[in-house]
Each structure stands twice: as C-alpha cells, then as structure tokens.
Structure 1
Amino acid sequence: MLQSRTMDDRQRQFAHRMRAQPTEAERVLWHRLRHDIALSGSHFRRQALIGPFIADFASRRAKIVIELDGGQHAENAADMHRTRQIEERGYRVLRFWNHDVLSNIEGVLAVIQNALTPTPDPSPQ
C-alpha cells in the first residue's frame, strides 16, 4: 500500500511538471478545449491520471481521453498497449498528431465534438 501511494505521489508530481511545460500543440488544444463554445458542456483536465497512465487530456464525465503525438509515436507498440489499457477502463481514446493540432485545429475540434455528441439509440423498429 505504501509503495502504491508513493507511486501515485510520483505520478501526480510528474503530471504537475508536465502541466507546467506543455508542448505548443498541447497549449493550443488546451486553450480551445477551455474556451471553445461548442465544447463548453465538457470538462477536460490536462495531464490527468487514468490508472497508471497520464493522459494529455481527459474528460471523466464523457469518458474520453485525448492524446497528442509527435513523430516518435508512429506505430509505437507501447502506445497501442497504453491505449488498450485506458480503453479497458471505459475510456475512448482519440489520438492526434501535433502537426494536425497546429495546422488544422478546427478539424481536430470537429472530431472531438463528434465524439462528445451522444449517438441516438437505434429505432425500436
């Protein structure tokens, strides 16, 4: 138990340091997640702890995690494992390249908004 608490404390401290030093893509997306009217009904956290992982952004209520990736993440087996582990906790994981956030923020926001919009139940017919 003590070891688990120490690990949780270290993760929180690391997440805090990551929040203090965001990448340019994280800074741009965070500003829009906080201020965009279309997303105002959702509450996202930066560098949120999801189990043993630190997600770039997470909405606990909507059960959505947003991950921003640079070139080092292309076809990364560790990222695929991490995504599966987060999904097993009930979250939907949306991944975007940093370049897409910086060059097409409106498109990225449209994908996020679409994920936040509940799909209607199928017709009973």
Structure 2
Amino acid sequence: MQRQPVLVYDGDCAFCTSSVRFAQRRLRPRCDATPWQFTDLAGLGIAQQRAEHEVLWVTPGGAVHGGAQAVAKLLMSARGGWPVVGALLTLPPVRWLAHGAYRVIAHNRRRMPGGTAACAMPSAPRTQKRA
C-alpha cells in the first residue's frame, strides 16, 4: 500500500515532464510523481487510456482524481500559499473553468513551451512499457 499520493503523468511528453519537474522544485508537493509508462497502472486501479488522456492524482486510499482536479490536489499538497489556490480550483464555477482550461492545454500540449511531437495525444492504442 502506498503511503502518500502519487501523481501519474505522461513521461513521453516534454511539456508534462517539465511541468512536473517545475512543481517538484518550486511547489514541493507531498507526493510521489511517476510517468504512467513506468507505473503499475493496474495496481493503482487506472486504465492506460485514462493515463494517456490526463494527469492523475491517486490517494493512498485509492481514489483517483484526473485533469484539473489532479492539479488542484497537487497544489493542495504543496507548501506556501498554493493549497489555497488548489482549494479554489475545486469550487464551482472555478472548477468548471479549470476543467476547460486543462482540456485546452492537454489537447495542445505539443504546442506549449517545451512540447514536442511526442506530446500529442495518442491517436492509436499504445502498449504499456514496463520498468
């Protein structure tokens, strides 16, 4: 059983990887961060298709939060004033706006700073890599 939350992200995406590294350095969230490609997704109760689609926050109890709500949970676990920002992202209507913004960024991540063609959302099924 995991002792702290796990942030699962797309390790093939340079934008995603850069964003997670930035969060780890600057926000110092209380979680483990791991690319889905090197994670036992089944053990966390996550379908590969979902991991390809959005960042995921998995609690020690097994609850899974995706997309903007995963970002909110990450912020709520950070130090400083970030937990307040994370809490705001869970409240309507901010939550709805955050969801829309997350979807736009996720669908355009290859165009974001640090993004590459590998950041494009998959159009065909990929096989999960094992570590």
* Greater helix fraction, Structure 1 or Structure 2: 1
TM-score of the two chains, using structure 2 as the length reference: 0.28
TM-score of the two chains, using structure 1 as the length reference: 0.29
Largest Rg, 1 or 2: 1
* Greater strand fraction, Structure 1 or Structure 2: 1
